[in-house]
Amino acid sequence: MSIRSLRSAVAFLTVVPIAAEDGVPGERLGRAYFPAVGALLGLLAGAAVVLVAAVTTPLVGAVAGVAVLAILTGGLHLDGLADAADGLLSPHAGARRLEIMRDSRIGSFGAVALLLVLAGDVAALAGLSPVRAVIALVVAGAMSRWAMLGLVAMLPYVRSDGLGVAAAGQHRRFDLLLGSLTVALVALLDWRHSLVALLVVVVTATLVAWLARRRIGGATGDVYGAATELCQLAVLMAFASHA
């Protein structure tokens, strides 16, 4: 754990212009900081929700918050969601599914997945008070990146190249444990809702992992992105359903 690791995590997960060390192996990517970076992204998105909702409506504020998340991450996880949906839900065989996931074009499954997840994010946030929306986004940011760490730790990586290779490496389960400490601290913001959200995240991440293992034999960077977006939605829905 170091400032260099934190810089690497920010550079990997966001578009913030922080130079990461060239050629770093996976274990030095700052994976343990992923939940902390996610929480910070949630806080920034929450600030957008509060500011925009104060001068417009909660719905417009929710759209602003979701837009800020997409901008700050460069749409990285959303792109993974679309590619994973196209590949994992394809009727083709395993190797062909990996080819589909690498195709930059978005298919019907990917388009529907993007539409449903983004609409779900906005709908969940619009039903929350501004303060509760901020807390939900911070918790969602941390737990969704923690879920990504879970998939990194538990599933084999099935490609020999790609962005997800950088997330592989040694000490994956140790980084998951360290990331869990961040999630535990963030959950104290609202432990009742966070506990429900955590259970939903575990179920969601497990289903994504099961599908990926069954359909392509393991994980890719797109699977990590899909798990992140789906778990983020799961947390927001958990907060909205118990508002």
Could you report the per-residue pLDDT of 60-71, keeping only the tens digit for each?
999 999 999 999
Q: Taking residues 106-126, what's their average pLDDT?
A: 96
**pLDDT the model gives residue 1:** 53
Distance of CA 107 to the CA centre of its chain: 21
**pLDDT the model gives residue 65:** 98
Q: Taking residues 149-168, what's their average pLDDT?
A: 75
pLDDT digits (tens, 9 = 90+) for 191-212: 999 999 999 999 999 999 999 9
The answer on pLDDT for 16 being more than 90 is no
The answer on pLDDT for 142 being more than 50 is yes
For residue 144, the tally of other CB atoms under 10 A from its CB is: 29
The candidate with the shortest Cα–Cα distance to 151, out of 102, 198, 212, 100, is 212
pTM score, whole prediction: 0.91
**pLDDT the model gives residue 19:** 58
Number of domains in the chain: 1
Q: Is the model more confident about 32 or about 160?
A: 32
Instruction: Please give the Cα distance from 157 to 152 (Å, whole number).
Output: 8
Compute the radius of gyration of the chain from its Cα atoms: 17
Q: Taking residues 164-172, what's their average pLDDT?
A: 59
Q: DSSP secondary-structure letter at 128?
A: S
Instruction: Please give the Cα distance from 190 to 197 (Å, whole number).
Output: 10
pLDDT category, 111, cuts 50, 70, 90?
A: very high
% of the chain beyond a pLDDT of 70: 88
Q: Would the CA dihedral through 109, 110, 111, 116 be positive or negative?
A: positive
The amino acid that residue 182 corresponds to is T
**Domain residue limits at 182:** 3-18+27-241
Q: Taking residues 33-53, what's their average pLDDT?
A: 97
**pLDDT the model gives residue 23:** 47
**pLDDT the model gives residue 243:** 62
Instruction: Please give the Cα distance from 8 to 200 (Å, whole number).
Output: 29
Q: Is 125 helix (H, G, I), strand (E, B) or coil?
A: helix
